[in-house]
Amino acid sequence: MKKTIKLLLASVLTFAATFAQAQTAEEIVNKYIEVTGGAAKWAELKSVKMTAKGKQGGMEFPITSLQKAPNLMKQSVSFQGKEITMSAFDGKETWKTNFMTMKAEKGEAEDSENAAKSMDFPDPFLDYKAKGYSIALEGEEKVEGTDCYKIKLTKKPIKVDGKEEEDFSFYFFDKENGVVIMNRSVMKKGPGKDQAIETLMSDYQEVNGLFFPFTVSQKMNGQVVFSMAMEKLEMNVAIDNKEFAFPID
Amino acid sequence: MKKFTLLSSILSLSMGVFAQEALPIKGDEIFGSMRARHIGPALMSGRITDIEGHPTNNKVLFAGAAGGGVWKTGDGGVTFNPIFDKHNQSIGAITVDPKNPDQVIWVGTGEIWTRNSVTIGDGIYKSTDGGQNWTNMGLANSERISSIKVNPNNTKEVFVGVLGALWSDSQDRGVYKTTDGGKTWEKIFYVNASTGCSDLVMDPKNPNIMYASFWEFRRTAYSFNSGGENSALYKTTDGGKTWNKIHNGFPTGKLGRIAIAAAPSNPNILYSVIESEKDADKGLYRSEDAGASWKRTNGDFELVVRPFYFSRIVVDPKNPDIVFKAGYNGSVSKDGGKTFKAIGGGIHADIHDFWFDIHDSNRIYLCDDGGFYRSYDGGSIWDMAKGIPVSQFYQVAIDNQTPFKVYGGLQDNGSWVGPSSKPGGIENRDWISVGAGDGFRTFPHPKDPNIVYSEMQGAENIWRINLEKNSVKTIKPFPESNDPKFRFNWNTPITTSPHNADRLYVGSQFLHKSDDRGETWVKISPDLTTNDPAKQQQENSGGLSMDNSGAENHCTIFAINESPLDQNIIWVGTDDGNVQLTQDGGKTWTNVTANIPNLPKNTWAYFIEPSSFDKNTAYAVFTGYTSGDFKPYVYKTTDAGKTWKSIVSPDLKSFVRNIKEDYKNPNLLFLGTEGGLYVTIDGGQNWSQFKNNMPPVAVHWIALHPTEDALVMATHGRGVIIIDDISPLRQLTKEIIAKDLHFFTTKPTKMAESGAFGGYARMGEFVGENPNSMAQVVYYLKSRHTFGKMSLEIFDQNDKKIADLAPGKSKGINYVDWTYSLKPPKVAKGKTIIQAGFQGPTVLPGPYKVKITKGAKTYESTLNLIANPKSIHTADDRKVQFETAMKLFNMSEELGYLVDQIDNYKIKIDSISPKLTSTKLKKQFPVADIASKMQTLKETLVVLKGDNYVGAAEPQLREKISGLYGEVLSYTGRPTNAQLASMKVLDEKLSAAKTQMEGFKASLDKLAPAMVKAKMPELKVRSFEEFKAAEN
């Protein structure tokens, strides 16, 4: 581990020298991909299985997250030996476990259609042009006391309560080392509509040549509402598509 | 260089022993994750100046507040979110792009309802992402923007009406145009330096036709003038190239403020409300030929009242004869302006704007001095939005109750007392009214929690309120036989004394003192003002419409403070620029104004803060905005006013209204500015804006809690905002900020007691945030932690790890919450989920070790928990509670292990059962029978069917233990005898089950040697320790 950090620091230092001049959104994103492992290495990544500890309001619980190219995902927590899927997408439909009955229920059709448009793996910035996304540099902003470039990523339009809307959010790239340390998005529907969620990334660590943020926290209105610390990250493990499918009793 | 060091050391000596070196850090780097919380209230809301809708989606509306930013609703006015929190909070006009309404929104800053307390804007802003991000597009000196019109055929072309400066001449007025979406602006129409564009209207069908009303106006600190030769209504038909007066039918002579509206359904029909010289021709005018001629239709009170405050007329988009007029109460005409009726009651007075639903004209929205309202019946009945906390406090005070209460007075919304904390959050209903009219200074009696002092405008009333008895007594001072008339400021200073709890001060032009709660008053000063007769002509104020409300009263005392170190030292500041000091309790006074360097004459002495470290030291802030001077003026004296030094740095961007010195570190100062809160940690050499959940709203007053270290701000537009613990800021030194990580010394955490019921607000109602009741680990990080591992652990007195927390990683000060509870028990698996599995017992008071591991380095500190000193529980109660909770915790885990063993035996036995083929073998190894008996036992231990809601099954032992455990945890004192007895009963049942289990295990153990012989796998299950350590 120690070696990893040293290596990383060295690459960050050399990188910092060149990064200071980076100006365009494209350069910033390219550097990010480079510093986290390089496009070729990212392209080899087909699946990720993570186990983590989640923390919310003083509670702690194990989380399992499965992701598979092109856009399959499932996040589950375990309470008292019961596995509860908080969110899953099988490529067509979203679903999750109802806490009262402990049975799976499908998401609204619109949400599934939106997920099909906006979910991607492993990183939205990889081949963003080919995916039909666009990026724009929207200036600089401080995040957690750190100078960052602010990049707007616009995906394909989604539907919100039947109406087509732009799907965009903001990513903050640490000017010093080039990695993303925050994403800011706004809730599109529901009681929290229009409220911003900030997702902070830290504890970047290397796994087989790729760098992942091992801690991800979510803040609303400046307060941490959820935090997740990775314990194990496995790459390119075989995950059957059935894992993501809506369970049939 | 050496010389400089010497000089600066001399300077710092003269600044007193506490002076320190400038600290080379600013802003985010100091504050890190230190954060403000908003407690509103939204009960009375505050002045909202403009409403704007979306051209196609009737659920989307925007409300612009006088001092509280822009609020958006996406649900037709039920819930609102602030969307302009990083920018100037005073809103003049909001406009949605007609072609790209989901993306492009324009906001012109600077309120245009030019009352005495109005503030200033800083230009025009544009969002291209529906309001998430904003860019200032210029017109920086516009001060107030009245209208923004976008050409629907070419949305890069935008016209802006700039009303401009209120207190001074300015060239930055008139009509501006951009053709490139706001990158560049051209002033296309200008009248003169005292006349601005008060309204700009675009023809609904033809964007080349526009109407612009121009208003000649001026305010000073002591007068207001509306009207002149230059007020006029203009029309262009060529997109703003040429403008012509359209006054055919208008009154002659000087005109004042003119409102203008075009009927969307018939652009030839125009309405204009005119302020003029003669009462007989003031009022509403209508044109049916697009302004070629006008006819006066009505001059009722609502049509002519206070034009500077109410010049707005709004026409139904579908019916050109339905017109709403803003006003004192507002009125509506259904016959094209001939006759009017009052709109429904039950709403706050002083209406500023209306908006019709685009699909249904019976749905109307309005805004006034008391918030945002919606009507579904064409404007008879109105329903208030209770979730827009834009209350405009002038002042705030706090008391020493636990939790402390907050007191303050508001623009046109009385005076209030509310809690700083409440179970479930601080709701609108938690605030108590302690004054009527406009509220200003409101103070609790320093010792008697039932007594509150408050006032209304111009000291028309000063009240002493007994909250317990619900009684109010008017206690203002009156002139004695030889006294001249008393002059009271609109915002009359009242204050209490740090030395004598029954003392009260009030300022007119004299300082009045009472030592018996306001029953008797003694005048303890001569006239302390300049007493300039030229500034005392208020009965002539207003211009074309007389306006002598008291708002312009001048040559009055504005600031009074008694030194906390010596009751004979009293500082007084006056609105006409005097700073006066007495050091003998009022016998003699010294005017020290002339000693203040670089301060323009007659600059309003807004606040004086006597130091709590040294009686010769004081801070004074001045505002010159009422003469158009927006510079910050902050001074410090250390020799009782003989010399003064400016402590302004270039960091300060706007004018200043209040200053607060910390009680423990004299270099820590807090500054209330028109653009938010600024803090210095080096005695004013550098100032940093505090931005964490703190908009750049005008901060009119700051209170600091002497023991809780909470900084409480009266904002003029966003209610009361609190930063709960500023104590880490006291500790910042050059040495600390050089360290990679530094733990701050924190006060022992008073452990929270179990609360009562609370929290019943429903959707759309504002609920103020409570203070954090958790223990906090507070540390400074030199840089953000982005790479590698970082952990934060808590250990008990036996060095046993009891908690893993998610560390904060911000550069600057980090706060990490700890709930001071143990991890929850590992409970039995069942069909359902139980509460016990989510809760751990609260630990006992005492020291706990904090350990941060960051990369290869570790850092340690101690966190102290203490029982709340006001607790109703004894140490013994707490111990019984903890021990009971731990006993039930252990019972839960023992039961969990019991079930775990049964489950694991079942798996093992199931796996060998197929091998037991013959009757003989089955008889020799009756494991299936044992497994079946275990299963029967399990059914009494844990629920194996049903769901987590109404399909719940009959509770078993797990559920009963969990229920009792939850009850015991929910009360931080001694459990009831019934609970203790119940625990005993459940424990007996658990013991019986364990005994039964031991019997089964003994039976299996007996079979073991024969099974080994028969080459059967061993029937062994995991240990209790293995069970505890496992994830599942």
Per-residue tokens: B337: 């302006």
Q: Is the pLDDT of residue A4 over 80?
A: no
Residue B20's pLDDT is 55
Per-residue tokens: B758: 């609370």
* Inter-chain CB proximity B102 and A60 less than 8 Å: no
CA distance B535 to chain A (A): 47
* Inter-chain CB proximity B784 and A102 less than 8 Å: no
- What number is the ipTM of this complex? 0.89
Domain assignment present for A225: yes
By C-alpha distance, the chain B residue nearest A207 is B788
* Inter-chain CB proximity B786 and A174 less than 8 Å: yes
Mean pLDDT by 10 residues, chain B (1032 residues): 40 42 78 94 96 97 98 95 97 98 97 96 97 97 98 98 98 98 98 98 97 98 96 98 98 97 98 97 98 97 96 98 97 97 89 97 97 95 96 98 96 97 95 97 97 97 97 97 96 98 98 98 98 94 90 97 98 98 98 98 98 98 97 98 98 97 97 98 95 97 97 98 96 91 94 85 94 94 95 96 95 94 93 87 96 96 94 95 97 96 94 87 89 94 82 86 96 96 97 96 92 86 93 74
Q: Is A229 on the interface with B (CB under 8 A)?
A: yes
Q: Is A227 on the interface with B (CB under 8 A)?
A: yes
Report cis status (omega within 30 of 0) of the bond before B403. Answer: yes
Distance CA A218, CA A220 (A): 7
Q: Is B937 helix (H, G, I), strand (E, B) or coil?
A: helix
Strands B232-236 and B210-219, by their bridges, are: antiparallel
Residue B990 near residue B864 (C-beta atoms within 8 A): no
* Inter-chain CB proximity A59 and B812 less than 8 Å: no
Distance CA A172, CA B320 (A): 50
Interface probe for B, chosen from A61, A80, A102, A103 (most Cβ of B below 10 Å), is A80
Q: Is A202 on the interface with B (CB under 8 A)?
A: yes
* Inter-chain CB proximity B833 and A194 less than 8 Å: no
Q: Which chain A residues touch B817 with a CB distance below 8 Å?
A: 58
Alpha helix ranges (H) inside chain A: 2-19, 25-35, 39-43, 109-118
Domain assignment present for A248: no
CA distance B949 to chain A (A): 5
Q: Which chain B residues touch A62 with a CB distance below 8 Å?
A: 1031
Distance CA A184, CA A141 (A): 12
* Inter-chain CB proximity B812 and A217 less than 8 Å: no
DSSP 8-state symbol, B842:
B
Per-residue tokens: A27: 């350069």
- A residues 41..100 contacting B (CB < 8 A): 53, 55, 58-60, 62, 78-82, 99-100
Per-residue tokens: B760: 């019943």
Amino acid letter, residue B125: Y
Q: Is the pLDDT of residue A153 over 80?
A: yes
Mean pLDDT of A125-153: 95
Domain assignment present for A83: yes
Residue B368 near residue B347 (C-beta atoms within 8 A): yes
> Which range of residues forms the domain containing residue A72?
2-243
Q: Is the pLDDT of residue A19 over 60?
A: no
Distance CA B127, CA B802 (A): 48
Q: Which chain A residues touch B824 with a CB distance below 8 Å?
A: 59
Distance CA B537, CA B620 (A): 28
Domain assignment present for A179: yes
Q: Is A161 on the interface with B (CB under 8 A)?
A: no
Residue A10's pLDDT is 47
CB-side neighbour CA atoms (13 Å) of B693: 21
Residue B533's pLDDT is 96
* Inter-chain CB proximity B102 and A196 less than 8 Å: no
Tokens 């399990």 appear where? B938
Q: Is the pLDDT of residue A17 over 60?
A: no
Distance CA B583, CA B589 (A): 8
Domain with A159 in it: what CATH number?
2.50.20.10
For residue B1025, give every residue at least 6 positions away whose Cβ sits within 8 Å of its Cβ, in sequence order, or none: none
Q: Which chain B residues touch A146 with a CB distance below 8 Å?
A: 783-784, 786, 811
Alpha helix ranges (H) inside B1014-1023: none
Dihedral angle sign, alpha carbons of residues B697, B701, B703, B704: positive
Residue B320's pLDDT is 98
Residue A249's pLDDT is 66
Interface probe for B, chosen from A6, A8, A144, A147 (most Cβ of B below 10 Å), is A144
Residue B730 near residue B736 (C-beta atoms within 8 A): no
Q: Is A203 on the interface with B (CB under 8 A)?
A: yes
* Inter-chain CB proximity A203 and B787 less than 8 Å: yes
Q: Which chain A residues touch B425 with a CB distance below 8 Å?
A: none
What angle is formed at CA B151 by the lines to CA B217 and CA B274, rounded to 5 degrees?
30
Interface probe for B, chosen from A8, A76, A146 (most Cβ of B below 10 Å), is A146
Interface probe for A, chosen from B84, B689, B723, B786 (most Cβ of A below 10 Å), is B786
Question: Which of B103, B788, B809 has its CB closest to that of A5?
Answer: B788
Alpha helix ranges (H) inside B843-976: 875-912, 919-924, 927-941, 957-969
Q: Is A190 on the interface with B (CB under 8 A)?
A: no
Question: Which of B812, B821, B829 has its CB closest to that of A81?
Answer: B829
* Inter-chain CB proximity A204 and B949 less than 8 Å: no
For chain A, the domain total comes to 1
Number of residues in chain B: 1032
Amino acid letter, residue B230: N
CA distance B716 to chain A (A): 21
Q: Is A200 on the interface with B (CB under 8 A)?
A: yes
Q: Is A224 on the interface with B (CB under 8 A)?
A: yes
Q: Which chain A residues touch B788 with a CB distance below 8 Å?
A: 5, 8, 203-205
* Inter-chain CB proximity B788 and A229 less than 8 Å: no
Closest C-alpha among B857, B877, B899, B836 to residue B980:
B877
Domain assignment present for A90: yes
Domain assignment present for A249: no
Per-residue tokens: A165: 């809307």
* Inter-chain CB proximity B855 and A5 less than 8 Å: yes
Q: Which chain B residues touch A204 with a CB distance below 8 Å?
A: 786-788
Residue B836's pLDDT is 85
Tokens 């055919």 appear where? B248
Per-residue tokens: A231: 């314990």
* Inter-chain CB proximity B805 and A55 less than 8 Å: yes
Residue B14's pLDDT is 38
Q: Is A76 helix (H, G, I), strand (E, B) or coil?
A: strand
Q: Is A179 on the interface with B (CB under 8 A)?
A: yes
Residue B809 near residue A221 (C-beta atoms within 8 A): no
* Inter-chain CB proximity A53 and B783 less than 8 Å: no
Q: How far is CA A169 from the centre of its chain?
A: 12
Number of residues in chain A: 249
* Inter-chain CB proximity A217 and B806 less than 8 Å: yes
Q: Is B790 helix (H, G, I), strand (E, B) or coil?
A: strand
Distance CA B396, CA B689 (A): 20
